[in-house]
Amino acid sequence: AAEASARAWVGSRVVVALPGEPDRLRIHGPGADVGEAEPEIVSGLLSLSRVRNRGAAFGILADAALPYQAAFFVTLSLVALGAIVLYARRLPATAILPQAALAFILGGAFGNLIDRVRQGAVTDFLEVYVGTHHWPTFNVADSGITVGVLILAWDIWKHSPEKDDVNTTAIRKQA
């Protein structure tokens, strides 16, 4: 039973690690040079634009010329992946929503780690904007991380003891 449970746990993570794969399929395909002009997908909202991000999420520290910057972010990614795996393994099997959230985060972090190991940077290519206001360019793996974090935050908020105390207090006042 423990072996089957472990296989299911690993299998679910392998499937969710795929959020980073469309990045590699799109970016490493024919004509995949960084900086190459890309089409506008939704006029005034979404276009493709290849950007090499040597920094963290949303380009934080991307322009910093830190010694061993790629190694730092690879190490940070490995530590984060380990922490996610340890946290996920401690959750009960019935905690479907947090497990799914962690799987999105794990998949996105793993996808970006692959880019960092291969290229020393992450290739971002989705550019969202409204008029002249641009969101930092990102990739599908970043989206997986963001969705996972939002789901996990919502689940934590939904099950927080403080929230339960407030609801219990409100119910008692109505009685």
Catalytic residue at 165? no
User: What is the rounded distance in angstroms from the CA atom of residue 131 to the CA atom of residue 136?
Assistant: 14
- Distance, in Å, from the CA atom of 29 to the CA atom of 31, rounded to the nearest integer, reads 6
Amino acid (1-letter code) at residue 175: A
Q: Which of 115, 100, 89 is nearest to 28 (CA)?
A: 115
Query: Distance between the two ends of the chain, CA-based, in angstroms?
Result: 47
DSSP 45: T
* Cα gap 112→158, rounded to integer Å: 29
Q: Which of 124, 155, 164, 165 is catalytic?
A: 124
Tell me how crowded residue 54 is: count the other CB atoms within 10 A of its CB: 19
Dihedral sign, CA of 92, 95, 98, 104? Answer: positive
- Residue of 129, 113, 134 lying closest to 56 (CA atoms): 113
Q: Which of 23, 142, 164, 165 is catalytic?
A: 142
23 is catalytic: no
Active site residues: 124, 142
